[in-house]
Amino acid sequence: MTELWELSAEETARRVRSREVSAVDVVESALARTARVEPLIHAWLELFEDEARERAAEIDRNPIGPLAGVTVALKDNMNVAGWPLTCASKILSGYVAPYTATAVRRLIDAGAVILGRANMDEFAMGSSCENSAYQVTRNPWDLGTVPGGSSGGPAAAVAAGSAALGIGSDTGGSVRQPAALCGLVGVKPTWGRVSRYGLVAFASSTDQIGPLARDVRDAALATGILAGPDPNDSTCSTRPAEDYLARIEDGIEGLRVGVIQEIDASTFDPASGRVWREALERLQAAGAELVEVSVPSLDAAIAVYYVIAMSEASANLARFDGVRYGRRAEKADNLLDLYLASRSEGFGPEVKRRIMLGTFALSSGYYQAYYGKARGVLERMRQELHAALEKADVVATPTAPGAAFGIGEKTDDPLAMYLSDIFTTPASLTGLPAVSVPSGLDDRGLPLSLQLMGRPFEEATVFRAARAFEFQGSFRLAPTFREAG
């Protein structure tokens, strides 16, 4: 018998609306599942069980909304009024959000139940969820491996059945990469498609909120709810929200899928190469036409992204100084000492590294050599990807270079860690929509994933392609909780 925590978000909401099941029972099932798996995966920073039960009871009195009773794991960098918010950093200890983020408000208005704050890499800076100041999250598929990052907490929670949906932020791949490593569907909408009001900024030119789900339909449903204009965010598009489920089952007969010629599959490990080739064959079997496209600047994506993102982070994180909120150093003789001590005590090593590198890239005498040059290469990349999307309707790549790696395997080699984002950063830099969808398993039984990128604001086409690919034999296996190591 299927337990309530196993149901898709779409099916859960249907049953709650029809009163086949109660939202209270759905929440109790999720909390019971969480009690079983959380000691293994450490996905949550804080659960709000009483609030979730009260919210569920409220929904049962009036069970309406496309997400009625659906449980959600929220990355801890989005404001919920009255809840603590830490971004998994000590520098925000004691901070309580004064208002609710627009994206979160839209989920609540749609009937969702936010279960709590999920773990993340500190200030969304990382690709493994090992940079949290509070705990290391583990991958439900293999407890000795990482869940990816920075949205590793929501990804692990959804993959383990602790919540039906996860909501994360994607700056350079922070929704899609953990989705790939945890066998989920992850979405980065077009930049500006979803309001960022109430999201703690990392790199403002690429930050975007997106869902993690167990199938493409749930991901499309959640994206449609999150999307739409917001007067509180001047960078948010004025385009109205769309129903991404309306034509999601139309198939991809005749759809052109671009394959980037600069991707050298011979550099992949054997299993990743095999699954990549099989993914392209499955797209063809579903009716798509494969066309070769060229993105010569692909190899520069990581360098460009990290110069731009670190530069923007150094500016955005200047506001965390221990003066108005968060951690404040106890011993400081003057204002400068207060800044230095508070930031030195409050920020972790990866955040400090990025602030310093970003400050250097923006400094007098180096600005044009680093930040200016990166912006120039970015513009060329934008032109190349737009040209590719004139020849093709969507562009396919792997989501990540391989499956989940071991906990601690890359912590001493930041460059190796950064390369986890090699295929996700181009869509982030250029603002394109992209979806990560499971494509197979490697030789260890760990998930691998396909990424599909589309034209700006054409999420519907990307979802249709992802759904057709998923429909052509993609797996839906419950993660196994193997012993670490």
pLDDT for 415 equals 85
Percent with pLDDT over 90 in the chain:
87
User: What Rg, from alpha-carbon coordinates, does the chain have?
Assistant: 21
The pLDDT tens digits for 396-420 are: 999 999 999 999 999 989 888 998 9
**Residue 193 vs residues 34, 110, 223: alpha-carbon distances, Å:** 32, 18, 9
Average pLDDT over residues 374-388: 97
Q: Give residue 340's pLDDT band: very low, low, confident or very high (50, 70, 90).
A: confident
Beta strand extents in 30-79 (DSSP E only)? 44-47, 71-75
Assigned token pair, 102: 């627009």
Residue 464 pLDDT exceeds 50: yes
Model-level pTM?
0.96
Residues identified as active-site:
75, 150, 174
pLDDT for 337 equals 84
Longest dimension (CA), the chain: 69
**Residue 102 vs residues 80, 109, 194, 238, 286: alpha-carbon distances, Å:** 10, 10, 9, 14, 37
Q: Which residues fall within 8 angstroms of residue 39, CB to CB, at 6 or more apart?
A: none
For residue 372, the SS3 value is helix
Residue 271 pLDDT exceeds 50: yes
Q: Is 183:91 a contact under the CB 8 Å cutoff?
A: no
Query: What DSSP state is assigned to residue 190?
Result: P
Strands 113-118 and 44-47, how do they pair? antiparallel
Assigned token pair, 9: 């978000």
Q: Is 341:332 a contact under the CB 8 Å cutoff?
A: yes
Distance CA(417)–CA(419), nearest Å, equals 5
pLDDT for 366 equals 85
Beta strand extents in 27-131 (DSSP E only)? 44-47, 71-75, 113-118
Domain count, the chain: 1
Q: What is the DSSP string of 326-364?
A: S---S--SSHHHHHHHHHHHHS-HHHHHHHHHHHHHHST
Average pLDDT over residues 389-394: 98
Residue 484 pLDDT exceeds 50: no
Q: Give residue 332's pLDDT band: very low, low, confident or very high (50, 70, 90).
A: confident
Instruction: Provide the terminal-to-terminal Cα distance of the chain, rounded to the nearest Å.
Output: 32
Closest CA to 196 of 237, 233, 240: 233
Q: Is 67:13 a contact under the CB 8 Å cutoff?
A: yes
Q: Is 67:111 a contact under the CB 8 Å cutoff?
A: yes
Q: Give the distance, in angstroms, between the CA of residue 458 and the centroid of all CA atoms in the same chain.
A: 19
Look at 2 and 20; give whichever has higher pLDDT.
20
Q: Give residue 40's pLDDT band: very low, low, confident or very high (50, 70, 90).
A: very high
Assigned token pair, 203: 């790199």
Average pLDDT over residues 245-269: 94
Q: Give the distance, in angstroms, between the CA of residue 105 and the centroid of all CA atoms in the same chain.
A: 18
Give residue for tokens 């086409």.
461
Average pLDDT over residues 146-169: 97
Average pLDDT over residues 186-198: 98
Q: Is 215:476 a contact under the CB 8 Å cutoff?
A: yes
Query: What DSSP state is assigned to residue 168?
Result: E
Task: Point out which residues pair with 394 in neighbouring strands.
Answer: 257, 454
Distance CA(42)–CA(39), nearest Å, equals 6
Q: Give residue 477's pLDDT band: very low, low, confident or very high (50, 70, 90).
A: very low
- 150 prior amide bond cis, ω within 30: yes
CATH of the domain at 172: 3.90.1300.10
Q: Give the distance, in angstroms, between the CA of residue 437 and the centroid of all CA atoms in the same chain.
A: 13
Query: What DSSP state is assigned to residue 145?
Result: B
Residue 72 pLDDT exceeds 90: yes
Q: Picking from 42-56, 77-91, 99-113, 364-378, which range would have the lowest pLDDT averaged per residue?
A: 364-378
Q: Give residue 322's pLDDT band: very low, low, confident or very high (50, 70, 90).
A: confident
Average pLDDT over residues 26-33: 98
Average pLDDT over residues 350-367: 92
**Mean confidence (pLDDT) of the chain:** 94
Q: What is the DSSP string of 459-471?
A: HHHHHHHHHHHHH
Residue 482 pLDDT exceeds 70: no
Residue 45 pLDDT exceeds 60: yes
Average pLDDT over residues 416-440: 96
Query: What DSSP state is assigned to residue 318?
Result: G
Sheet holding 113-118, edge to edge: 44-47, 113-118, 71-75, 165-170, 208-213, 185-188, 434-441, 447-454, 394-398, 256-260, 289-293
What is the number of H-type helices and E-type strands within the chain?
A: 16, 11
Q: Is 129:163 a contact under the CB 8 Å cutoff?
A: no
Assigned token pair, 182: 């945890």
Residue 446 pLDDT exceeds 80: yes
Give the domain extent around 4.
1-485
